Structures are given as structure tokens and as C-alpha cells.
Structure 1
Amino acid sequence: MRYLTRILLVPILLVPILWVWPQRGITVKFSSNRNWLRPAVVRVERRINLDFMTAASASLPQQEFSVEWSGWLRTDRDGQYAFNLRSDDGSTLELDGHIVVDAGGVAFPTTRAATIAMIRGLHQIRLRFVQTDGAYEFYAYWTPPGEAELAAFPTEQLFVQQQPAVIVFLTRHVSLLWALCWFALALVIAARIAKSAREIASTGRRRFARRLTLALASTIVALLVAEGIVRLAHYVREDRRPLEVQLRGARAQAPLSMQSLRLGEIVQPSRYAGIVYELKPNVRGRFMGQPLLINSQGLRDYEYTRRKEPRTFRIVGVGDSSLFGWGVPIEDSGLKVLERRLNEEFRARKFEVVNFAVPGYNTAMESETFVQRCLEYAPDLVLLNFNTNDYDVPEFMRRPNELATLRRSYLFDLAYSVYEGVMAVKREPLGLFDFRHRTIAQRQAARLDEDPALPDEYRYMVGAKGVVRALERLAAAARERAIPFVVFDVKPQPGFDPQYVRDELRDGQRELLERESRRLGFYFLNTYPYFMNYLKQHPDASSRPVFAVSAVDGHPNTLAHSINAQALFDYLVANQLLPSDKPSKDDH
């Protein structure tokens, strides 16, 4: 039994290797023709998408090309599997040599789906995509048995090469195997202690204490080694460079490229310290599944000159990803819908609604944007959109995880996440407008500026104090120039929703916003009644996805943007914030 403890330490240290070995991912081949011949790029990727083109777009053609992904897919249970392809132009999905989904020969965005019965095991998978000309996109999803939502193929179930059945079995149960090894070690230690207790009379307390100490020391060493391995994995995975270095290291986009872009590839450091980062001018591509065009001034909008034309009434909008139009085409974003409506209804004037929103901005960054950038455009009216995550900074602006701390066990965190997966611990369901990962917990919001993970230069931005400070800065700048300010938000309230239950976390933040807005002389609009009226008029609508980009992405979709635009139009008219036929103060 003395040696059994040491033997068990071997699988405890080796089993976690199965999380990364055999090599996970899928082989992708890029061909500069439409026939999947003579591939110019062959590499292993962790995901089935076109993101690999991001890193090599300077050398890869953006038209007349084809891509093939091939590898092995592990299924973990018998049952009906649903597969879904969305592509522009054509695409196919094959499993075990048979075409399952065929979206080939299509020259416009289309979605095709199929459901087939599959058995547990390893299956050969191949996906093909072809692009002729114009814009392009490709997304592949599946829904395993027992799941309800479409999801991307998980990396841990994709294999580059075919593996023996025993390896496939081990990779499927690696978490359980690791837990059993720890359980066995605990039993062995307990048995040794029990045996030693019986031997105390004959061997003496000193020998028992020595054995017990050795057993405990072995366990502690094993735990420390495992903790070190987990921390090393965090170190390798995280980008620990300073924020400005990360932003400057993002690839410069080709003006006519149409590949999928990440947030880090469409922003750059701002010359203003309080703004931190801003959109990169002249970027074109696809972002969150939609065409993206950033103009020469670094705005997701059409081109506007800083100098207004005569008889032009200019409105500027500041906000974060919601106002930016995350996941919706530019022409369907709320500010563009509002602009069209104003120009249709008031033909004696020209209306321009300019969008200064940037994903990730909080109220402090929006305030600085108004002062440093919006005022150059001589606005006649300002719209500020608030979300409850405006209390914090984006995750990438926070310090990396502190790996040298003794106040946190990364091994325990990993074990608990495994427990959540094994025990199917359910998380809080997604709400109508807010989602947990986008909202600051109430206990954190009050003292958010004391968070040790927050860089010192951003502490003034966060928490309730940061929001109030930013609103006061906005009010001073607007008051000096006599510019009306409209703050709008979606705040649930009783009387409109029969199922309404007060949420101290979110409602408290919004009530602070409304109270401070009125104190500072802002106009305040709550668009929530418009959304509830829509649901009353469409009782068959499912409230959760009807206003969201998707069931897992709570950003407002095209419908939500149009409702916000209608609410803003009605509010501006009712409060006489739009011009009559008299010239605006900046007309020349």
C-alpha cells in the first residue's frame, strides 16, 4: 500500500494530458480556385469557420476560392443529431463519406439543415465551402441529442487524426477518470491511516506520525503540481501584453477584404487617454455575421463632414455595442432608422444622425467621446444609450489573472467547473434585455473601483461613482453649448409586465441613472413600454429571442432597433426637441 500511493500519483499527473492530446481541431485547406485543388494553405484550426483567413488575408484572395475542413468528430451518445449550415456562396457537410447537408450552388446567403441518426463514436467529417464573388460568409452548427440550441462544433470533440477506440473512450471520460484517481488516492490514504492506527501499539506513535506525514506530504505535493499545471495553462492561454500593445498589434485590414473580424481587429488605441480605444478607420469586412464598414473618421456610419450644411439638424448618438448595432446591418441600426424617419416626416430640413457608439464603452468613455469627438460635429441634439454593464470596463481592459496569488485556487475552480458539467448545474436563464455576463453584480457595483484586477488608470470610470462623474462631465459640456441631451434606457416597471419582479441589481442602477439624469437637466426616456406593447400585440411571440440577436446573444436585433427608433422619434416630437422651420443655431 505504501507504493500504491505513489502509483496513483502517476495517472493523476498524466490523465489531464488527455484534455490536449491527441491533437484536437480540424485540418483546413485553402485553395485559390473553386475546385478545392492545389491548396495554398494547409493548417490545423480549433474551430470550423473562416477566422483562419484573418491572420493570412494579406496573401489570400478574397474572391474565387474554396475551403475544405476535414477530420474526425466524436459523438458521445446515440440519437438524432441536427446539423446546420449558413453560407454565401455554397457549402456542403459530409459525415462518413455521405453528404448530410447540401447548400451548394447558391450565390446568396442561405441556411440549410438536416437531422440524422448517429451512434456514439468517432465519425469522419468533411465540410466544403466555395466563394465566387461579392460578400461571403460560412457558419457550421450542430445540435446533439438532449440539446435545444444550435452550437459550434466543440474543439474537444474534433480530432485531427483517427484514434483507437480506447483513446476515444478515455477522452470522453477524462474528467471522470481524473476524479476517480483522486478518489482512489483518498481511499488509499484513508486505508493507510486506518492500518497505521492498528499498528500504533506495536510500532509506536513516531512511526505512525512519519507515515501519516509522508502520505499527507505526497497529497500536498500532487495538489501543488496540479495547481501549477493549471496556472501554467492560464499563462499560456492569456494575452498578458499591455492593452495598448495588444491594440497596436491588431492586423491592419485590407480596404476591400470581406473576412470575419474580431473586436480586436476593428479597434485601435485612441489619442485621448479617457477614450482608451476607438474604431479603426476604413475597415471593411464582416463582424458578428453582418457586413461592417467603418468610415474615414472611425465611425460605423456613412461619411459626414464635420462642417454642417445649411438647414441641417444634426443628432449624435453615444453608447456601447447595443447602439453600435452589434449583429445587425448598418441600415437596420436604430440611429439609421431614426434618421430615415426624420427625413421622411420633416422634408423642410435635412436630418443627420451620426453614430459614435463603440462596443465595450462605458459611460465614462462615452462622456469623453462626446467632449473630444462629438463636439467637432456641432451637434444640435445628443442621444446617450445606457446599459447596466456601463458600470464596468470591458474584460480586456482588466489586468490578467494574478497567477502568483495565494488567495485563489485555480485547481479548485477547474474542479468546480467540471462538477457543474457533470452535475448539469443550470445557470440563470437569459433575461429579456439583460444577460448575466453583461451586468455587474450589485455587491460589486458599489465598490467596483476597489477591484484589484482593475488598472489604476481606469478606477475613476467604474461603479456608481464613475457613472455619476461621467454624467456630470456630460452635463457641463452640454450646458455650456446649450445642447439638449436625451438619455434612454430599457427599464422594466410594474404596470406593463404582469410577471414583473423587481430586480435590485439592475433596477437600482437604472434608477440611479434616471435620478441623476433629471438632476442634471437631461431628458430621460424609458423605451420599455414600447417593447411590452409589441408583446401585447403579438401574444404568440417568444419574449426571450424576439428582441435579441440570438438565444445566446442578448444584443438588440433589427426589431429591437426599430422599436427604439420609434420610441425616440415619438419622444423627440412630443417634447418639441426637433426644429421647426427656423434655422438651427449652427446654420451658416
Structure 2
Amino acid sequence: MNATPEESTIPRWKQRLLALLVSFVLMVLGGEIFCRWQVHQANAHNLEAVLAGRTRPVEGTLQELTPASFGDVIRMGTDPKIVYELHPNMLGVNFKGHEVRTNHLGFRSAPQVPKEANTITIIGLGDSIQFGHGVGQDDCYLEQLRLLLQAAYPRHDWRVINTAVPGYNTVMEVATLEAKGLPLEPDLILLGVCGNDEGLPVYVNLAQDPYDLGHSFLWRKLRGHQPESEPGLVHKNTRRDEEVGSTFDLPGRYDQLQGWKPLVGALERLKEISAENQIPVFAMASITYSDHGHEANHSSQILAACEDLGFSVLDMQPYLDLALLAETGKPFREGVYKHSSLVVSRFNLHPSVSQHRLIAQKCFEHLEENGTLNRLMGP
């Protein structure tokens, strides 16, 4: 039998190769379409969508309330650099077993009243440590500091404002100061330093455009960049880029929120605010030591950057060392620390009430010894 023109023109192995290539292209195309469909489905569970579907937590007494989750007490931020913020005007909300009250600005502080001539205002910028994660409203170190100041210098009305929100980093903290703190006319800024301050906030908004032709969603999934999280609040660690360790593969709008350069930029902006408004800045780090990992050690680097910018700084680590040694007879180690009275519990390593009081006392002594309080009070 004579060969057909097609068989004589295209060898069989080429036909098979072509069929294989076509099958591969169709498979890749199908995979790409499927990945984009997954992104479309996941967008229904991004942070903005989830928070939009939640109502404010029910208010009342701690005995009456079902504990509120973190997602219940936050809403989307009103500033591009503030991803989320606390609901304003909360009263009697049970969060982590303690009441959380917020004022009209969404700060865990008393309602703001007009500033009088004898009022000295201190604004705290921080994250869950300064917020008082796991302790009562009046046990946070900022409130304890206010009580110390009021007792020592009663002729002044000391107003200490807690703007901290769990999961915030330095960029968000400075943005909060600019957006909501400066109108309160602060006389001193107290910056709480934490080792994860150059990382992303705890929760990020991961809505993506499934019609974006700028990259392959299939390729990103194969490289492990796609989020794999349950519906609800999307935690930053669902987007970890294993290839570069601590850097997260996120939409470009988050570039300004993570990394050392944005952190230093935020500190430099804080210095500008300080100079423009004649407001001194005091930076305090609670822990600067770590057995493993690098977060606590980052606190030392951030504190050093603050000192280079001319901020007054306080490292609480030596005082924690002494407190832990007095309690346990052992030097500071994470395994010892997490079973001590310095933390809320071994399951919640945030500062306990006793540590908040220790921080407040050392902040008070530091401000008194370096002359900051005298300068604030004037002649």
C-alpha cells in the first residue's frame, strides 16, 4: 500500500511529538484556568470580605459574654498603611478573658477630652505587647505608667494613650500616629519595639485579580506561593516564600510594609515628626534575647537604629534577666521564661500583669533619670 501524502510529509514520530506538545499545552492551560478559578473563589475569604461579613462584638459584662475572637474586634483600616484597626467605642468586650474598651478613635484608652493647660500627653505606639494581650485594661504598662506619673507629679494631668493593636509593625504604628495620634497633641511618643516589627502585620488582605495576565498563577502555585488557608482571617504565614525564608510573596502594595528598609523609613519619618512638632521619642524594647530564631535579636538592631536617630532608648532585657533569676534561680532562657510569672501563661507568652508593672516602673525611672519628665513639666 502506498503512503498517504500526510504520512510521507510528516513522520509518525513528529506527529506523536506534536500531539504530546498539544496535550501539554492544553494541560497547562487547563491548570492555569483552574488556578485562576481557585483565586476567584479564595477572594470571597480575603480579609476585607471576611471583616465586612462580621458584626461588632456583643457588649456587656465578662460573665455574660462569649469570648470575642480577634476578627471580631477589628475592622479594615482607613489608611493604606493601616491594614486593620480596632473597632471604635467598644465597651465590655471579652477578648482573651479580659475586658477591652476603646474610645472613638479605636484606641484601648479612656475617652479623649480637650487638653488643658496642665495636661501632659504621652502617646504609645506598639503591638500586642503594649496593647496588653491577655491582661486587663488597667494592667497595661501604659496605664500603669500613667498611675505612677500621676502619683509622683499630681499637679499635672497625665494622659497616656494606648494606640497599640496586636500584630502591628513599625510602619503601621507610625502611620497610626500620623492619621489619628498627632491631633491629640502629644508631648512624648513612647515607641514599643518588638523583634517582628520589620515583618508584615499578623493579618493581611490577600484579594488577587484572577484576570491579571502579568504572571502565571499555575507557576506560582507550583513554586508554593499560593495561599493555603482556611476561610476566614488570612494569616501572613499562609504566603511564606520558602525560597527566601522570611520574605513573603504578596501583592506589591505590601512592599512598603515589610523589610528593614520600610522599617527604617518609618523611624526616619518618626524623627521628622519629632523635629517638626518638638515631640521627644522614647523607644523601649521588652525582650532582646532569644535562644532560637532571630526575632528577639532584631529588637536590639531596631533599638540601635532608634538610638542612632537620637531617640531615648530603654532595653528591658537586663531587668527581665534579674526578675527571672530572682524567681527561678536560673539565667534567662526561653524554656525558663515561658514557665515563669513574667508571662500570661506558657501558651500565651505575652507579658503578664507583673511584667507590665515592671516595664512601667523602669520606663518611669528612665524618663525621670534622663530629665525627660522635667523637660515635659517645665519650670
Q: Select 1:485's aligned residue among 281, 285, 303.
A: 281
SS for the counterpart of 1:389 is: coil
Q: Select 2:147's aligned residue among 340, 346, 359.
A: 340
Q: 1:518 to 1:409 in 2, by over 3 A?
A: closer
Q: 1:441 to 1:304 in 2, by over 3 A?
A: farther
2:301 match: 512
1:94 match: none
Q: 1:524 to 1:259 in 2, by over 3 A?
A: same
C-alpha displacement at 1:246, in angstroms? 2.5
Q: Select 2:111's aligned residue among 289, 293, 303.
A: 303
Aligned positions of 1:417-496 closer than 5 A:
444-445=245-246, 448=247, 451-452=248-249, 454-492=250-288
2:142–2:160 CA contact under 8 A, matched in 1: yes
Aligned counterparts of 2:195 and 2:376: Cα–Cα separation in 1: 38
- Aligned: 1:357 with 2:157: no
TM-score (normalised: structure 1):
0.49
- Structure with max Cα Rg: 1
Letter in 2 for 1:534: A
- Aligned: 1:253 with 2:253: no
C-alpha displacement at 1:555, in angstroms? 1.3
1:391 match: 198
Letter in 2 for 1:243: L
C-alpha displacement at 1:490, in angstroms? 2.9
C-alpha displacement at 1:469, in angstroms? 1.1
Aligned counterparts of 1:443 and 1:408: Cα–Cα separation in 2: 12
Aligned positions of 1:282-293 closer than 5 A:
282-284=89-91, 285-293=93-101
Letter in 2 for 1:484: P
Aligned counterparts of 2:148 and 2:351: Cα–Cα separation in 1: 19
Aligned counterparts of 2:337 and 2:76: Cα–Cα separation in 1: 38
C-alpha displacement at 1:564, in angstroms? 0.9
Aligned counterparts of 2:354 and 2:43: Cα–Cα separation in 1: 36
2:123 match: 316
TM-score (normalised: structure 2):
0.74
Letter in 1 for 2:313: F
Letter in 2 for 1:248: A
Q: 1:406 to 1:535 in 2, by over 3 A?
A: closer
Q: Report % sequence identity.
A: 28
Aligned counterparts of 1:442 and 1:407: Cα–Cα separation in 2: 13
Letter in 2 for 1:465: K
Aligned counterparts of 2:376 and 2:294: Cα–Cα separation in 1: 45
Aligned counterparts of 2:104 and 2:68: Cα–Cα separation in 1: 18
1:348–1:581 CA contact under 8 A, matched in 2: no
Q: 1:395 to 1:347 in 2, by over 3 A?
A: closer
1:279 match: 86
Q: 1:441 to 1:532 in 2, by over 3 A?
A: farther
2:222 match: 407
Aligned counterparts of 1:239 and 1:302: Cα–Cα separation in 2: 37
SS for the counterpart of 2:116 is: coil
SS for the counterpart of 2:339 is: helix
Cα deviation digits, residues 446-469 of structure 1 (max 9, x gap): xx3xx32x2211111101112111
Structure 2: segments with no counterpart, 5+ residues? 1-33, 209-215, 229-236, 331-335
C-alpha displacement at 1:356, in angstroms? 0.4
Structure 1: segments with no counterpart, 5+ residues? 1-227, 414-435, 494-499
1:254–1:283 CA contact under 8 A, matched in 2: no
C-alpha displacement at 1:539, in angstroms? 2.9
C-alpha displacement at 1:396, in angstroms? 2.8
Q: 1:380 to 1:364 in 2, by over 3 A?
A: same
Question: Whose strand proportion is higher, 1 or 2?
Answer: 1
2:319 match: 530
